[in-house]
Structure 1
Amino acid sequence: MRACRQARPAARVAAVWLLVAAMATAAWLLPRIAQPPQYHRYADPYVCFGTPHCLDIGSNLLFLLAGAAGLRYLGTTAASRAFIAPAEAWPFRLLFLAVFLVGLGSAYYHLAPDNQRLVWDRAPLAFALMSWLGANLCERVSLKAGLRLLPLLLIAGPASVAYWAWSEARGIGDLRPYLLVQASAMLVVPLLLCLYAPRYTGDRDVLAITGCYVLALACDVLDHQIAALTGLVSGHTLKHVFAALAVYGVLLRLKRRRIVEEGT
């Protein structure tokens, strides 16, 4: 890792863009990825007051709490010590706001799952992922570069969901741009940790946050298998739990990280 960080700045930037270009090229060359017809058939067996899948609905409270806790912390004087420059806080504000909206949008979707409602779940999630990527660009590459790219990232995230909804409505559903957004947040951030020296402590926390979100996605894919294995909880409910834990991890890192002194 130290050897990667000793590379010339131009080479490090090129490595990041090369990864992004490789992912985009792979997404372009892959055949269209349609959403499975059975996607909305969740395994959560619980019914509350006549409402099915109530754990899938109720677990969204974790997103509301995580988002609200993050926004509340960023409004305190203690939060000012978590950033070298005040502008660095903006991607995190947008992240926690988006997570709060994920809680609302996902609960709305799970009340009556269909493609139209799914947009209100996925759009804020894509916004949150791009905010997280922007926050790490500000921290690792440079604040100026990160803030310049942030608006583009925040447009690209929801735009990928809009494209999926547009394609789905025309019978040619295509998840590739949305999956590219997911992959970018999971792969580019660890690469930034490898290439750029830290300004703050807590690199392991960033990797743990990424790992927690990957685990959440795995639980989603194994929704029915986990429900059958445990007999208590579905994979999608656990997805909400682990994804919310990833957000709490972001908040905990902000609270306990310290500025890395030059030469250490």
Structure 2
Amino acid sequence: MRACRQARPAARAAAAWLLVAAMAAGAWLLPRIAQPPQYHRFADPYVCFGTPHCLDIGSNLLFLLVGAAGLRYLDASAASRAFITPAEAWPYRVLFLAVFLVGLGSGYYHLAPDNQRLVWDRAPLALALMAWLGANVCERASLKAGLRLLPLLLIVGPASVGYWAWSEARGSGDLRPYLLIQACAIAVVPLLLCLYAPRYTGDRYVLAITGCYVLALVCDVLDHQIAALTGLVSGHTLKHVIAALAVYGVVLRLKRRRIVGKGT
């Protein structure tokens, strides 16, 4: 890790871009990936007031809570201690706002799951992932470069969902761009930790947040298997809980981190 951080800045940036290019090339070489129709048949067995899958719906309250908690913290005076430069807070503002919107969009989707409603779930999620990636670029690689890249990331994330929705409407659904932006958020952030020296403490939080998101995706894939195994809760409901915990981890890291070299 130390050798990576001692490499020239251009070489470190090239390594990050090379990883993104390799993942993009891999996605391009794959055949189109359509949305499986069975995805909308969730395992959550609970019915509340005549509404099926009510734990899948109700667990979205966690996204509303952690999104609001993050925005509230950033508006408090104590948040100024979390950033060397106030501009670093902007990706986090987008992140927490997007997470709040995930709660609304996912709740709307789960009331009557279909591809059209799924757009309102995935678009803010893609926005949140790209904001998280942008925040780490700002803090690890370069604030100037990160802020320049941030608008592009915030366009590309939701655009990947828009492309998927457009392709589904044409009968040739293609999830590859949406899956690619998720893969980038999962893979590039840990790479940045390896390539660049930290400006703040709390790298373990970043790795735990990434791990929680990966675990949430696994729970989503194993929705029915987890429901059958536990007899109490479905994998998709657990996905919501674990993903919300990951976002709460972001809030905790901001509250607890310190500038490296100052009080550490």
TM-score (norm 2): 0.99
* Equivalent residues in 2 for 1:33-72, closer than 5 Å: 33-72=33-72
Cα deviation for residue 147 of structure 1 reads: 0.2
Output the CA distance in 2 between the equivalents of 1:37 and 1:84.
Answer: 47
Unaligned runs of 5+ in 1: none
Deviations 1:89-116 (A, max 9, x none): 0000000000000000000000000111
Cα deviation for residue 37 of structure 1 reads: 1.5
* Equivalent residues in 2 for 1:1-264, closer than 5 Å: 1-261=1-261
Over 4 Å off, 4+ runs? none
SS of structure 2 residue aligned to 1:113: coil
Output the CA distance in 2 between the equivalents of 1:170 and 1:163.
Answer: 11
Output the CA distance in 1 between the equivalents of 2:249 and 2:39.
Answer: 29
The percentage of counterpart residues that share the same residue type is 89
Cα deviation for residue 3 of structure 1 reads: 1.1
Output the CA distance in 1 between the equivalents of 2:17 and 2:191.
Answer: 11
Cα deviation for residue 35 of structure 1 reads: 1.1
Deviations 1:166-194 (A, max 9, x none): 00011100000000010010000000000
Output the CA distance in 2 between the equivalents of 1:177 and 1:84.
Answer: 34
SS of structure 2 residue aligned to 1:225: helix
Output the CA distance in 2 between the equivalents of 1:120 and 1:194.
Answer: 34
Cα deviation for residue 261 of structure 1 reads: 1.8
TM-score (norm 1): 0.99
SS of structure 1 residue aligned to 2:37: coil
Deviations 1:69-107 (A, max 9, x none): 000000000000000000000000000000000000000
Cα deviation for residue 164 of structure 1 reads: 0.2
Output the CA distance in 2 between the equivalents of 1:37 and 1:45.
Answer: 19
Output the CA distance in 2 between the equivalents of 1:159 and 1:20.
Answer: 17
How many residues were matched structurally?
Answer: 263
Unaligned runs of 5+ in 2: none
Output the CA distance in 2 between the equivalents of 1:37 and 1:126.
Answer: 21
Output the CA distance in 1 between the equivalents of 2:229 and 2:202.
Answer: 35
Deviations 1:236-255 (A, max 9, x none): 00000000000000000000
Cα deviation for residue 7 of structure 1 reads: 0.8
